[in-house]
């Protein structure tokens, strides 16, 4: 054979050679090879360095349980650290490099750690690095952090795309081996919809009936409640580059599940069992039969069960020499003797390998025979088998713990997730034939590794126990055993058994292995799926979005909405634009999209009664055609939301909410109606998206609207006074709703039309208002004007304020029950010394006040004891200069006094005068024009 | 976790919002005073292990409020009914 | 035996034969002056400060399982004192100061790492809310900075500044905030308490709280009856169950919180960073894994695990904030039981039964409070008066309406 590739056999496609590099060196393999099988075929044994001691490491396994052969795959932004070479399918041009070594894999400077390893015993860092105190952050920790981790993240935005999909089925079969395929066929025969997942690439074609959806390269990595399973499908990881999605997160909803995941072999624990060339016996068999690769030329087999004996004829067929079979069982079995005799190899019964010798790979195995003598067998491959562990990680994801089966010396499934059954080797059938446990060979010199990746040895387990960390949970945390990227798949059971021996307890007494999702590591990008960048969350556009765009609007996120923030003209920054827009509204007319505020259409014989329940004030006495401000509390008495509600008919209201609380208020109304007052005959629905609503504000607003409202509607002040509402048509027949309400404090209206007419209505209004100098205005101008008018909005309705705080206590009816009535009456919520709404103006008239500043008495020290409140909203009014709204202890009683506005995080510290929060037109005369 | 909405059928838990314990009842005295009955209703809870009645809102679906009897130790859903 | 570099070296040369158990596996005595129920962060720190600062006699900590296997062993290791309300700030700042001296105090390297906590903001309103909080911190003498976009970009360049759905505008920063190795806190306090004579009794579950004449007299446990002069409850997510044993209820719901860690990576993220437009926060442990989490799942649970939608939601937030972590791999997810209160703030108070004391309601924020909660709970138990920085954490504040509601969401635990 050439290299270590066997002349014939295996499932790789020898007609398709594949070129790849490892640590810069070129190699060739075949399509179907993993990086591990291809490296082994090329005689590469050294593939990595261990985490703590930087010991040379080779390939241990042939599957996803691999602890050693972790490489960095690809380059640039595509770099994937910590990739298992045993799972990475090679493709032309694949570039892989080893990790955690400097300057090279062969000559790693930090291998010195191995020599001074006694100083790095488990938990050593808890006992030192404390002095001098400052050195921890300056030196010790940065040193530790640089040594930690194995691979390097590229530090660049992940360029791949990921998909998400949901599969529904009657039966999910996990594991595409013989047991799984049989289970899938059986289930499909009953007519069930079946999904079959296997984590490996399909090297050999599988015959499956039509009712089975086969997902290869798919790892079911988690079990969740309600028959929900999470799976990761590797779509293009085996291809050079692809514009197709890299991976797919498949959520599988299954009526029931069959776990056919087989069993994972556990290694024998002996001195220097981590040396390259020491492999799991089953893995050696897999490399021979699946990939046509012999991982060595001269092997020693070390086992304690009959399962592994099947490797003997395989090695012989592959023309690999067998120096001997070391069987830790006192009397080996007939099977072993028969197979060994056939192959012409010696059996050493009742013997153990005490140590693997060799520099950077195995050169010979030191064996202690039953009679106590020592023997050294030259070899370049040690195939060890300590038995098999049923692969039942998924059975414990919902909390059930596996149970110890003494007869096969393995954990088998305990309490299963609802709907799951386990079959085949995963259930403990047909494994560990005639096993006699040999958890570790005894106290001989040479580190005996239990957890390879985290460099945890038998000695560490003894030390942890000596220091009182004698439970499995404590052991794991103290030694970090089982916490590496392989999640202890080849370590956990050995560790538990060794701990049991060390503490003198039986295994069941010592504990159990419990697993958490994910079964194997999953890229965060796959869990995020397509929801990244601009697609992280949906974007809601107002029905006048195109209009605003055409007018040069700058947009701002308001929750999920994009709202026009301001409409800058050439040369204007945001402030100039906003102040111009304010002046236009106050002197002429402006339009602003207010669609995003929640709108809820409420109808029914008990509609008014329902409003009485949810609002603090009265509603049954609101006349048809009138609008009223409403205050809504939470049941704990604090303010939830406010808005205006219009009575369009005897049994017809339209409620508005703030933009931010629209969904929350809707949910609340549903709760009140369905749960608290189901006897009330009322129906309601959100119409926020159904109606485009535009504020038309300013002294010329009526004249503007008059041009578009259809006869016979009379928009005069007498016929349609302040706080009126009506249904009408506009622009020659378009249905509309008109509300004479004002957030700006000017003569103003809000007009609503079906949403699809939003842009058209805006255009018509601009046309109608052109002679008056109409302009669109955005949220900045809106904010300035409502601050000028002292209207509470989001910053004041912050969930910590009460009706009393906002000066709205007069709206709390004394006559009826409403949500929040009882608890709002608590003295702590009505106390006047609470921070209460006031206005502020800088004493010097020019210093900008900022929301978030705190308020202190003038001349008092800047300490918490003197903290009397905070600024909630601030604006730079074109007519009044800088103004603010604030919550100040005893506020209304202090109007006329001065207060210190303290904002150290933005270097602000100025004096302000406490004023009426209604800075502009306090009498409200402009509203009634 | 999946909840079977009486209107919409079995749906993933992400379509629903849990808000509060369904075993507490709003006092019927009109709320003129903040009595202990009121503050207990708003604040105090049993919070035992095992099955419990909870209010869930089908926010991404039909907006129905549901009374879900669910074992909070195992997440098993025992019953779903309208209020 | 004192821990130090000297003893590490000495023992390394002696084959580590000199190391002793970090704490005795004590057998329960028939009577104690103070019994603390709960061997997690709260219980162990309380026992330590009781032994260190107060003269109360014999103390025992009863833990139903293995010490430190609850939330103290499951959290995301963040410490900070960047709260906004006057009832909270002094308390968490006391905790921060205790963290800063902890390792020298208990002779255990808890790896207190003050790498800075950055709360990212994405809008003017959020900036102002963070300014309000930062200013409150400064008034209390706590460090707080507000960075704008360019300042933030210079320090943390790998956030998505250019293609984000919710633009990054800046951050509120507490430089003294950071991370601590959580297991070390449990083991360190246990060892330090044990050295001062505290009996730490594991695998000892309390099944009944014994009362006579309106006063507690002891507990019934799986390891027998234990008499107690005073009893302190510090059991986090199980608080309501213990309260029920003593005949009262709490304003608490127990909720599921998930947490996550990636495979170990070479240094990538130097600070603690929280996302302001979604539920996600992250830091990198000294072992290299990215430790991250998000919001609670949102439903009641004693199962200490959650479901897939939350996992997706958290990862979406992470990839949105820092796209480079898309290729990092989730290694492990786990869950804990959070005692969520009706205002999101804790309770350190007398219980309604004489000589019974309550330390509960830490929601998902208990870890950073471990030193102060122990310090103040010990003060309350020993002196029968609240410590001044914990004076607002009264059980009756709910009925009174003196809530400490940082988020302003009201009496719905899963919103806090």
ipTM confidence score: 0.99
A793: left (phi over 0), alpha (psi -120 to 50) or beta: beta
On the question of pLDDT at A336 being above 60, the answer is yes
pLDDT score recorded for residue C183: 94
Q: Are residues A36 and A95 in the same domain?
A: yes
On the question of pLDDT at A780 being above 50, the answer is yes
Q: Flag if A674 and B26 touch (Cβ within 8 Å).
A: no
Q: Flag if A825 and B63 touch (Cβ within 8 Å).
A: no
The CA distance from C79 to C96, in Å, is: 7
- How is A3-53 classified by DSSP, letter by letter? TTB-SS-SSSEEEEEEEEEETTEEEEEEET-BHHHHHHHTT----EE-TTT
Q: Are residues A607 and A748 in the same domain?
A: no
Q: How confident is the model at residue C250 (pLDDT cuts 50, 70, 90)?
A: very high
CB contact set of A842 (below 8 Å; sequence gap of 6+):
A848, A849, A881, A882, A901, A910, A911, A912, A913
Backbone angles phi, psi at C227, to 5 degrees: -80, 150
The residue in chain C having the minimum alpha-carbon distance to the alpha carbon of residue B37 is: C399
Q: How confident is the model at residue A115 (pLDDT cuts 50, 70, 90)?
A: confident
What DSSP state is assigned to residue C221? Answer: E
Backbone angles phi, psi at A882, to 5 degrees: -65, 130
Structure tokens at A822: 């009882």
pLDDT score recorded for residue A2: 53
Domain boundaries, chain C: 25-81+84-107+182-251+343-415, 117-177+253-341
Structure tokens at C250: 């709490």
Give Cα separations from C277 to A830, C122, C269, C313, C379 (angstroms): 33, 7, 19, 12, 39
pLDDT score recorded for residue A596: 97
Structure tokens at A836: 């209460």
On the question of pLDDT at C202 being above 50, the answer is yes
Say if A234 falls within a structural domain.
Answer: no
Question: Could you tell me the CATH number of the domain that includes residue A669?
Answer: 3.30.70.1400
Say if A122 falls within a structural domain.
Answer: yes
CB < 8 Å to A224, chain B: 1
Say if B30 falls within a structural domain.
Answer: no
Structure tokens at A664: 């929350």
Mean pLDDT of A288-292: 96
Q: In 3-state terms, what secondary structure has residue A888?
A: strand
Residue burial C44-61, b: 16+ Cβ < 10 Å; e: rest: bbbbbbbbbeeebebbbb
Percent pLDDT > 70 in chain A is 100
Residue at which a domain ends, from A328, A362, A386: A386
Beta strands in A428-467 (DSSP E): 449-451, 456-457
Q: How many domains does chain B have?
A: 1
- CA-based nearest distance B46→chain C, Å: 6
Q: How confident is the model at residue C18 (pLDDT cuts 50, 70, 90)?
A: confident
Decide the pairing of beta strands A775-776 and A590-593. Answer: parallel
Mean pLDDT of A774-788: 98
Say if A869 falls within a structural domain.
Answer: yes
Percent pLDDT > 90 in chain A is 90
Beta bridge partners of B80: B68
Q: Classify residue B28 by burial, with Cβ atoms within 10 Å: 0-12, 13-18, 19+.
A: exposed
C14 in A contact zone (CB under 8 Å): no
Among C138, C177, C133, C134, residue whose Cα is nearest residue C368? C177
Pure H helices in A569-631: 574-587, 607-614
Q: Are residues A559 and A605 in the same domain?
A: no
pLDDT score recorded for residue A118: 80
Give, for A254, the enclosing helix (H) or strand (E). Answer: strand A247-259
pLDDT score recorded for residue A1: 42
Contact A662, A682 (CB under 8 A): no
Residue at which a domain ends, from A126, A149, A183: A126
The CA distance from C411 to C416, in Å, is: 9
The Cα angle at residue A880 between residues A878 and A884, in degrees rounded to 5: 105
The CA distance from A543 to B73, in Å, is: 47
Q: How many domains does chain A have?
A: 5
Mean pLDDT of A623-646: 98
What DSSP state is assigned to residue A142? Answer: H
Q: Flag if A158 and C324 touch (Cβ within 8 Å).
A: yes
Say if B28 falls within a structural domain.
Answer: no
Residue at which a domain ends, from A334, A351, A386: A386
- Give pLDDT tens digits for A22-32: 999 999 999 99
**Distance of alpha carbon A488 from its chain centroid, rounded?**
24
pLDDT score recorded for residue A678: 98
pLDDT score recorded for residue A4: 93
C193 in A contact zone (CB under 8 Å): no
- The domain covering C25-81+84-107+182-251+343-415 belongs, at the CATH homologous superfamily level, to FAD/NAD(P)-binding domain (3.50.50.60)
Mean pLDDT of C333-355: 98
Mean pLDDT of A440-448: 87
On the question of pLDDT at A467 being above 80, the answer is yes
End-to-end Cα spacing for chain A:
100
- The residue written with tokens 């208020």 in the block is A665
Q: Flag if C299 and B44 touch (Cβ within 8 Å).
A: no
Structure tokens at A272: 């220097």
C262 in A contact zone (CB under 8 Å): yes
On the question of pLDDT at A513 being above 50, the answer is yes
Question: Could you tell me the CATH number of the domain that includes residue B8?
Answer: 3.30.2270.10
Beta bridge partners of A259: A174, A422
| Residue-averaged pLDDT of chain A | 95
- Give pLDDT tens digits for A720-752: 999 999 999 999 999 999 999 999 999 999 999
pLDDT score recorded for residue A913: 98
Q: Does residue A345 have a cis bond before it (omega within 30 degrees)?
A: no
Contact A478, A464 (CB under 8 A): yes
C15 in A contact zone (CB under 8 Å): yes
Q: How confident is the model at residue A106 (pLDDT cuts 50, 70, 90)?
A: confident
CB contact set of A106 (below 8 Å; sequence gap of 6+):
A46, A360
Give Cα separations from C341 to A845, B44, C403, C409 (angstroms): 45, 10, 10, 12
Beta bridge partners of A355: A271, A366
What DSSP state is assigned to residue A108? Answer: B
On the question of pLDDT at A88 being above 50, the answer is yes
Structure tokens at A303: 């086992």
Give, for C400, the enclosing helix (H) or strand (E). Answer: helix C397-400
Mean pLDDT of C270-288: 96
Residue burial C211-246, b: 16+ Cβ < 10 Å; e: rest: beeeebbbbebeeeebebbbbbbbbbbbbbbbbebb
On the question of pLDDT at C334 being above 80, the answer is yes
Using CB atoms, which chains have 3+ pairs under 8 A with B?
A, C
Q: In 3-state terms, what secondary structure has residue C293?
A: strand
CB < 8 Å to A663, chain B: 59
Say if B7 falls within a structural domain.
Answer: yes
On the question of pLDDT at C373 being above 70, the answer is yes
Q: Flag if B2 and A667 touch (Cβ within 8 Å).
A: no
Expressed as residue numbers, the domain containing B7 is: 2-23+36-81
Write down the pTM of the prediction: 0.96
Express the helix, strand and coil content of chain C in percent, nearest 5 each: 35, 25, 40
Decide the pairing of beta strands A13-22 and A94-98. Answer: parallel
Q: Flag if C300 and B49 touch (Cβ within 8 Å).
A: no
- The domain covering C117-177+253-341 belongs, at the CATH homologous superfamily level, to D-Amino Acid Oxidase, subunit A, domain 2 (3.30.9.10)
Question: Could you tell me the CATH number of the domain that includes residue A35?
Answer: 3.10.20.440
C111 in A contact zone (CB under 8 Å): yes
What DSSP state is assigned to residue A191? Answer: T
On the question of pLDDT at A895 being above 80, the answer is yes
Q: Are residues A704 and A778 in the same domain?
A: yes
pLDDT score recorded for residue A100: 85
On the question of pLDDT at C210 being above 90, the answer is yes
Say if A424 falls within a structural domain.
Answer: no
Give Cα separations from C43 to C193, C201, C249, C293, C358 (angstroms): 11, 12, 21, 25, 11
CB < 8 Å to B68, chain C: none
The CA distance from C94 to C64, in Å, is: 29
Contact C97, C146 (CB under 8 A): no
Q: Are residues A604 and A743 in the same domain?
A: no
A763: left (phi over 0), alpha (psi -120 to 50) or beta: alpha
Among A166, A183, A178, A173, residue whose Cα is nearest residue A213? A173
Pure H helices in A308-442: 311-317, 334-343
Mean pLDDT of C142-158: 98
- Give pLDDT tens digits for A227-280: 999 999 999 999 998 889 999 999 999 999 999 999 999 999 999 999 999 999
The residue in chain A having the minimum alpha-carbon distance to the alpha carbon of residue C329 is: A523
Q: Classify residue A598 by burial, with Cβ atoms within 10 Å: 0-12, 13-18, 19+.
A: buried
- Give pLDDT tens digits for A349-361: 999 999 999 999 9
Give Cα separations from C141 to A708, A742, A910, C177, C404 (angstroms): 60, 43, 20, 14, 20
Mean pLDDT of A906-926: 96
Mean pLDDT of C205-213: 97
Expressed as residue numbers, the domain containing A315 is: 277-386
**Distance of alpha carbon C265 from its chain centroid, rounded?**
26
C257: left (phi over 0), alpha (psi -120 to 50) or beta: beta
Mean pLDDT of A44-56: 93
Q: How confident is the model at residue A128 (pLDDT cuts 50, 70, 90)?
A: confident
Contact A418, A227 (CB under 8 A): yes
The CA distance from C319 to C328, in Å, is: 10
Q: Flag if B30 and A674 touch (Cβ within 8 Å).
A: no
- Give pLDDT tens digits for A638-671: 999 999 999 999 999 999 999 999 999 999 999 9
CB contact set of A471 (below 8 Å; sequence gap of 6+):
A510, A511, C66
The CA distance from A77 to A361, in Å, is: 34
Contact C264, A148 (CB under 8 A): yes
Decide the pairing of beta strands A381-385 and A298-303. Answer: parallel
Structure tokens at A372: 């106590």
- CA-based nearest distance A387→chain C, Å: 26
| Residue-averaged pLDDT of chain C | 96
């Amino acid at each position: 054979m050439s290299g270590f590739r066997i002349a014939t056999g295996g499932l790789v496609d020898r007609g398709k050679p594949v070129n790849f590099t490892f640590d810069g060196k070129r190699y060739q393999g075949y399509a179907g090879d993993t990086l591990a099988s291809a490296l082994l075929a090329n005689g590469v044994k050294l593939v990595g360095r261990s985490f703590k001691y930087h010991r040379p490491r080779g390939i241990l396994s042939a599957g996803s349980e691999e602890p050693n052969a972790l490489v960095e795959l690809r380059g640039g932004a595509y770099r994937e650290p910590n990739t298992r070479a045993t799972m990475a399918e090679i493709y032309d041009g694949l570039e892989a490099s080893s990790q955690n070594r400097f300057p090279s894999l062969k000559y790693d400077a930090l291998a010195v750690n191995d020599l001074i390893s006694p100083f790095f015993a488990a938990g050593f860092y808890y006992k030192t690095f404390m002095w001098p105190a400052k050195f921890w952050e300056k030196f010790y920790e940065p040193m530790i952090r640089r040594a930690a981790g194995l691979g390097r993240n590229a530090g660049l935005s992940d360029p791949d795309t990921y998909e998400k999909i949901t599969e529904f089925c009657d039966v999910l079969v996990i594991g595409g081996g013989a047991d799984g395929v049989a289970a899938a066929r059986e289930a499909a025969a009953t007519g069930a919809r079946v999904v079959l997942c296997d984590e490996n690439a399909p090297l050999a074609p599988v015959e499956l009936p039509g009712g089975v959806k086969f997902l290869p390269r798919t790892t079911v990595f988690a079990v969740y409640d309600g028959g929900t399973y999470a799976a990761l499908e590797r779509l293009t990881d085996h291809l050079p580059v692809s514009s197709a999605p890299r991976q797919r997160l498949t959520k599988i909803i299954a009526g029931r599940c069959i776990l056919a995941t087989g069993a994972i072999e556990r290694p024998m624990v002996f001195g220097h069992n981590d040396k390259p060339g020491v492999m799991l016996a089953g893995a050696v068999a897999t490399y021979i039969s699946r990939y046509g690769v012999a991982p060595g030329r001269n092997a020693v087999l070390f086992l304690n069960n009959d399962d592994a004996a099947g490797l003997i004829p395989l090695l012989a067929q592959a023309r690999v020499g067998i120096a001997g079979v070391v069987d830790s069982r006192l009397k080996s079995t007939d099977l072993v003797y028969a197979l060994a005799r056939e192959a012409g190899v010696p059996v050493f019964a009742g013997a153990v390998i005490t140590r693997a010798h060799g520099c950077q790979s195995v050169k010979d195995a030191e064996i202690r025979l039953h009679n106590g003598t020592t023997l050294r067998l030259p070899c370049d491959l040690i195939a060890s088998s300590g038995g098999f562990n049923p692969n039942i990680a998924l059975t414990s994801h919902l909390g059930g713990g596996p149970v110890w089966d003494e007869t096969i010396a393995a954990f088998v499934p305990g309490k299963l997730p609802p709907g799951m059954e386990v079959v085949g080797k995963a259930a403990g059938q047909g494994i560990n034939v005639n096993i006699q446990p040999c958890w570790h060979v005894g106290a001989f010199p040479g580190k005996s590794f239990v957890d390879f990746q985290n460099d945890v040895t038998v000695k560490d387990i003894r030390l942890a126990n000596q220091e009182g960390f004698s439970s499995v949970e404590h052991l794991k945390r103290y030694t970090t055993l089982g916490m590496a990227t392989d999640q202890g798949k080849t370590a956990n059971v050995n560790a538990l058994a060794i701990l049991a021996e060390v503490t003198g307890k039986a295994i069941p007494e010592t504990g159990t292995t419990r697993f958490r999702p994910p079964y194997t590591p999953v890229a965060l990008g796959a869990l995020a799926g397509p929801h990244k960048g601009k697609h992280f969350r949906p974007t809601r556009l107002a029905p006048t979005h195109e209009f605003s765009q055409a007018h040069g609007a700058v947009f701002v996120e308001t929750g999920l909405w994009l709202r026009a923030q301001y409409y800058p003209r050439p040369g204007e920054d945001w402030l100039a634009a906003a102040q111009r827009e304010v002046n236009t509204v106050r002197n002429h007319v402006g339009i602003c999209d207010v669609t995003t505020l929640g709108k809820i259409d409420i109808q029914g014989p008990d509609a008014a009664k329902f409003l009485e329940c949810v609002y603090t004030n009265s509603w049954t006495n609101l006349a048809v055609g009138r609008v009223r401000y409403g205050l809504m509390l939470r049941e704990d008495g604090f303010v939830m939301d406010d808005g205006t509600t219009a009575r369009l008919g005897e049994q017809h209201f339209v409620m508005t909410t703030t933009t931010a609380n629209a969904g929350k208020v809707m949910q609340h109304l549903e709760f009140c109606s369905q749960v608290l007052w189901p006897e009330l005959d009322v129906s309601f629905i959100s119409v926020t998206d159904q109606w485009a609503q535009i504020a038309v504000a300013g002294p010329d607003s009526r004249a503007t609207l008059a041009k578009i409202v259809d006869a016979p509607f009379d928009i005069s002040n007498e016929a349609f006074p302040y706080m009126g509402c009506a249904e009408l048509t506009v622009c020659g027949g378009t249905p509309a709703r008109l509300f004479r309400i004002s957030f700006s404090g000017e003569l103003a209206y809000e007009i609503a039309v079906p949403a699809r007419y939003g842009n058209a209505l805006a255009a018509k209004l601009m046309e109608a208002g052109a002679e008056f100098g109409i302009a669109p205005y955005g949220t900045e101008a809106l904010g300035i004007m409502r601050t000028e008018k002292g209207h509470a909005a989001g910053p004041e309705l912050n969930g910590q304020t009460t009706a009393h705080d906002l000066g709205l206590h007069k709206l709390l009816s004394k006559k009826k029950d409403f949500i929040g009535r009882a608890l709002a009456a608590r003295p702590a919520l009505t106390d006047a010394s609470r921070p209460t709404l006031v206005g502020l103006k800088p004493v010097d008239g020019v210093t900008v006040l900022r929301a978030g500043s705190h308020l202190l008495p003038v001349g008092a020290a800047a300490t918490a004891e003197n903290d009397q409140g905070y600024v909630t909203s601030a604006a730079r009014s074109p007519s009044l200069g800088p103004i603010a709204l604030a919550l100040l202890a005893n506020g209304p009683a202090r109007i006329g006094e001065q207060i210190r506005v303290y904002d150290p995080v933005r270097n602000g510290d100025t004096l302000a005068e406490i004023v009426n929060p209604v800075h502009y037109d306090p009498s409200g005369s402009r509203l009634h024009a | 976790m999946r909840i079977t909405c009486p209107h919409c059928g079995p749906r993933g838990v992400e379509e629903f919002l849990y808000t509060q314990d369904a075993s507490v009842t709003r006092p019927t005295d009109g709320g003129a005073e903040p009595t202990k009955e009121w503050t207990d209703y708003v604040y105090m809870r049993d919070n035992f292990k095992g099955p419990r009645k909870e209010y869930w809102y089908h926010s991404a679906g039909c907006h129905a409020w549901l009374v879900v009897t669910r074992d909070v130790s195992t997440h098993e859903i025992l019953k779903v009914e309208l209020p | 035996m004192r821990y130090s570099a000297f003893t590490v070296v000495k023992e390394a040369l002696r084959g580590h034969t000199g190391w002793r158990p970090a704490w005795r596996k004590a057998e329960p005595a028939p009577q104690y002056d103070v019994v603390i129920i709960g061997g997690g962060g709260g219980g162990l720190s309380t026992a330590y400060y009781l032994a260190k600062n107060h003269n109360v006699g014999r103390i025992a900590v009863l833990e139903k399982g293995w010490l430190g296997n609850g939330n103290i062993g499951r959290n995301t290791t963040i410490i900070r004192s960047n709260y906004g309300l006057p009832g909270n700030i002094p308390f968490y700042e006391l905790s921060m100061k205790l963290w800063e001296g902890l390792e020298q105090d208990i002779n255990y390297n808890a790896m207190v790492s003050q790498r800075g906590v950055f709360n990212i903001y994405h809008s003017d309103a959020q900036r102002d809310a963070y300014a309000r909080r930062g200013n409150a911190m400064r008034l209390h003498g706590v460090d707080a900075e507000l960075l704008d976009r360019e300042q933030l970009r210079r320090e943390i360049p790998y956030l998505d500044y250019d293609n984000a759905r919710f633009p990054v505008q800046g951050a509120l920063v507490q430089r003294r905030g950071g991370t601590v190795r959580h297991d070390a806190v449990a083991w360190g306090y246990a060892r330090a308490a044990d050295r001062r004579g505290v009996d730490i009794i594991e695998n000892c579950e309390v099944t009944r709280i014994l009362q006579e004449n309106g006063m507690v007299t002891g507990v019934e446990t799986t390891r027998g009856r234990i008499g107690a002069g005073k009893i302190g409850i510090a059991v986090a997510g199980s608080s309501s169950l213990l309260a029920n044993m003593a005949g009262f209820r709490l304003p608490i719901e127990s909720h599921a919180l998930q947490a996550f860690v990636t495979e170990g990576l070479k240094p990538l993220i130097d600070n603690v960073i929280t996302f302001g437009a979604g539920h996600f926060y992250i830091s990198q442990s000294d072992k290299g894994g990215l430790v991250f989490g998000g919001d609670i799942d949102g439903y009641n649970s004693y199962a200490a695990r959650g479901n897939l939608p939350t996992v997706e939601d958290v990862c979406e937030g992470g990839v949105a904030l820092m796209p480079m972590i898309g290729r990092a791999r989730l290694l492990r997810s786990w869950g804990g039981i959070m005692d969520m209160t009706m205002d999101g703030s804790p309770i350190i108070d007398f219980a309604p039964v004489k000589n019974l004391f309550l330390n509960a309601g830490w929601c998902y924020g208990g870890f950073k409070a471990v030193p102060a909660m122990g310090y103040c709970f010990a003060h309350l138990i020993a002196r029968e008066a609240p410590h001044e920085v914990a004076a607002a954490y009264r059980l009756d504040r709910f009925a009174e309406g003196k809530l400490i509601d940082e988020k302003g969401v009201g009496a719905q635990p899963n919103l806090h």
